[in-house]
């Protein structure tokens, strides 16, 4: 039983629910007042190719040449195109421990491929580029896995459980903006009918809750149309507090609420909260990450303006007009699409009036913006698959290497994420996989086999480590060289 104290995370359940709602509101206010929320919405819109130009107000035809999204995806590809080699570490060096290492390595590969864990890690890396941070969580879900028994009371099957991984953005992981923090609150929109089935004793309270469209819009980066009544929404907002074990809370704490209804309140069942972040760099004196992609947005706005000016001119004056002396031109239509122009003798023949004069400076400016974006992001034309025609293979390899060096901080963060998630995977299986289960694992020669295991078979593993190597050697250019 958690003892009550003045510490907010140790309060009684009902009081703690109020504190969690207050922390959520404080977090949103900070994001809004600090300008982070506006920056995130702008980056989200720009990444998916939406122009910030108002056609009616500016009198332009809006056009977006989405260099921003292309550069972000290129950076993401540089980091994630090859999975780093993660190796399990055993606490001992005897034969049995080394056999356990092979099993642990095979299990990580199994979850990466068969359970699509690698896709989630890549999604988190992409979020870290255009939304500053990406987050991955791991927890044991007793509803997953294979049926091993039947509940005598309900008649429902009892599963042996499995690990559930989830990806979250900066908006979903509520934390203190500054200082060392031992807690995180995860915000999630969940189907209330699924929650009611999961907590039947609280079904009435859960079903009476609802997530207003105004609240969904407040937390959303994309547009949410007002197509349904707020009272008819199937979604509710759940907040889950994960507090690490500390002197103030020796057993840690996990609390899940819907509005002010407490669904779950228990000690932390894990060694620590399995909540991991990835970011290209840390924002100094804050608990937030930062992305170099944020520096590209002003140039994308300028690029859109340049191309919109050119397109507006083409739309307005692209169709040529004839000019002639007054009263000297007669137009006869011979047949559809064929005209006969007759002008008076001695008068100047009709001429095309060309108003489509787009200054070269506009296109020079656009090219300058593209080069500046490539310079700032270090994703050069070679890395994007558009090398200069006169560049040698050796020179292209050197330029490609420069792009990889620039992305090394994100690469290191990605490697750390794999280490943390892999270690969490093994620790969760060591703690909860008491029933035998089967996984398809591959050995060093990549030949697959079905392997039965349980928690005791993994007790010799302490953690996963990613052995860093020169990332250039994993690229096509590096292999050729």
| pLDDT tens by residue, 411-434 | 889 999 999 999 999 999 999 988
Residues 6 or more apart whose CB falls under 8 angstroms from that of 345 comprise none
Nearest to 403 by CA among 164, 8, 81: 81
Q: The whole model's pTM is what? A: 0.84
| Helical (H) or strand (E) element with 74 | helix 67-80
Those residues with Cβ within 8 angstroms of residue 322's Cβ, 6 or more apart along the chain or in another chain: 329, 341, 350, 351, 352, 353
Strand partners, 461: 90
The confidence score (pLDDT) of residue 466 equals 76
Per mean pLDDT, which range of 2-16, 83-97, 365-379, 433-447 is the poorest?
Answer: 433-447
Cα–Cα distance, 402 to 409 (Å, whole number):
13
Describe the strand order of the beta sheet including 235-243 as a list of residue ranges. 173-174, 183-191, 235-243, 253-258, 261-266
- Phi, psi values for residue 158, rounded to 5°: -105, 120
CA–CA separation, 330 and 344 (whole Å): 8
Burial label for 228, CB within 10 Å (0-12, 13-18, 19+), is exposed
**Residue 195 or residue 58, greater confidence:** 195
Q: Could you give the C-alpha distances from 242 to 25, 171, 290, in angstroms and in order?
A: 18, 16, 24
Q: What average pLDDT score do residues 374-386 get?
A: 70
CA separation for the pair 75, 169 (Å, rounded): 18
Tell me the sheet residues that pair with 11.
none
Q: How far is CA 199 from the centre of its chain?
A: 31
Distance of alpha carbon 19 from alpha carbon 7, whole angstroms: 11
Task: Average the pLDDT over 36-40 and give the result.
Answer: 94
Concatenated DSSP letters for 220-259?
-SS-----S-GGG--EEEEEEEEE---SSSTT-EEEEEET
* C-alpha span between 343 and 402 (Å, rounded): 65
Read off the pLDDT of residues 169-189 as tens digits, 9 standing for 90 and up.
Answer: 999 999 999 888 999 999 999
Residue 267, helix vs strand vs coil: coil
Report DSSP state, residue 333.
E
φ, ψ (nearest 5 deg) of residue 339: -115, 150
Strand-strand pairing, 235-243 and 253-258: antiparallel
What residues contact 354, with CB distance under 8 A and at least 6 apart? 320
Compute the mean pLDDT over every residue in the chain, rounded to the nearest whole number.
83
Distances (CA, A) of 90 to 70, 84, 163, 440, 480: 42, 19, 22, 21, 36
pLDDT band of residue 194 (cuts 50, 70, 90) is: very high
Provide the pLDDT confidence category of residue 240 given band limits of 50, 70 and 90.
very high
Q: Which residues contact 277 (CB under 8 A, 6 or more apart)?
A: 128, 133, 134, 135, 173, 289, 417
What is the spatial distance between Cα 376 and Cα 161, in angstroms, rounded to a whole number?
Answer: 47
DSSP structure string for 288-330: -EE-GGGGGHHHHHHHHHHHHHHHHHHHHHSS-EEE--TT-EE
Q: Is the pLDDT of residue 396 over 80?
A: no
The reported pLDDT for the residue numbered 1 is: 43
Nearest to 134 by CA among 171, 79, 82: 171
pLDDT digits (tens, 9 = 90+) for 332-347: 766 776 666 777 777 7
Section 14-20 average pLDDT: 96
Contact 443, 129 (CB under 8 A): no
Short-list 434, 425, 441, 480, CA closest to 455: 434
What pairing do the DSSP bridges indicate for beta strands 338-343 and 329-335?
A: antiparallel
Read off the pLDDT of each residue in 121-150 and give the average, rounded to a whole number: 92
User: How far apart, in whole angstroms, are the C-alpha atoms of residue 140 and residue 124?
Assistant: 20
Angle 474-478-480 from CA coordinates, rounded to 5°: 115
């Amino acid at each position: 039983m958690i003892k009550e104290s003045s510490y907010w995370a140790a309060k009684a359940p009902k009081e703690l629910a109020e504190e969690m709602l207050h922390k959520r509101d404080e977090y949103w206010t900070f994001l809004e007042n600090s300008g982070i929320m506006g920056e995130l919405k702008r980056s989200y819109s720009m990444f998916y190719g939406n122009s910030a130009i108002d056609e009616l107000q500016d009198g332009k035809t809006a056009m977006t040449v989405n260099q921003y999204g292309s550069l972000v995806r290129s950076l993401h590809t540089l980091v994630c195109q090859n999975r780093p080699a993660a190796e399990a570490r055993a606490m001992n060096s005897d034969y049995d421990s080394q056999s356990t290492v092979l099993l642990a390595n095979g299990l990580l590969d199994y979850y990466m491929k068969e359970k699509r864990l690698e896709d989630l890690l890549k999604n988190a890396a992409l979020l870290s580029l255009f939304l500053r941070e990406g987050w991955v969580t791991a927890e044991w879900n007793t509803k997953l896995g294979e049926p091993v028994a039947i509940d005598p009371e309900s008649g429902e099957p009892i599963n042996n459980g499995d690990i559930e991984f989830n990806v979250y953005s900066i908006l979903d992981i509520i934390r203190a903006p500054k200082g060392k923090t031992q807690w995180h609150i995860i915000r999630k929109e969940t189907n209330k009918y699924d929650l009611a089935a999961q907590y039947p004793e609280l079904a009435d309270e859960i079903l009476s809750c609802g997530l207003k469209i105004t609240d969904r819009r407040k937390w959303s980066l994309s547009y949410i149309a007002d197509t349904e009544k707020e009272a008819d929404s199937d979604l509710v907002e759940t907040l889950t507090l994960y507090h690490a074990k500390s002197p103030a809370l020796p057993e840690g704490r996990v609390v899940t609420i819907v509005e002010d209804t407490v669904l779950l309140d228990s000690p932390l069942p894990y060694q620590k909260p399995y909540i991991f972040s990835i970011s290209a760099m840390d924002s100094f004196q804050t608990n937030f990450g930062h992305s170099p992609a944020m520096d590209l947005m002003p140039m994308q706005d300028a690029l859109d303006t340049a191309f919109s000016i050119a397109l507006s001119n083409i739309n307005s004056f692209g169709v040529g007009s004839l000019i002639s002396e007054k009263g000297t031109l007669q137009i006869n239509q011979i047949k559809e699409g064929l005209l006969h122009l007759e002008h008076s003798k001695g008068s100047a023949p009709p001429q095309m009036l060309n108003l489509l004069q787009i200054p070269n400076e506009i296109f020079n400016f656009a090219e300058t913006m593209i080069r500046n974006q490539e310079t700032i992001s270090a994703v050069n034309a070679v890395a994007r698959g558009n090398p200069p025609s006169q560049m040698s293979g050796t020179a292209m390899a050197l330029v490609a290497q420069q792009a990889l060096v620039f992305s090394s901080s994100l690469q290191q963060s990605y490697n750390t994420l794999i280490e943390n998630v892999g270690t969490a995977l093994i620790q969760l299986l060591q703690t909860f996989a008491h029933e035998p289960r089967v996984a398809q694992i591959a050995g060093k020669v990549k030949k697959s086999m079905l392997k039965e295991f349980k928690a005791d078979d993994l007790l010799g593993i302490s953690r996963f480590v990613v052995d860093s190597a020169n990332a250039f050697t994993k690229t096509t250019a590096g292999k050729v060289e």
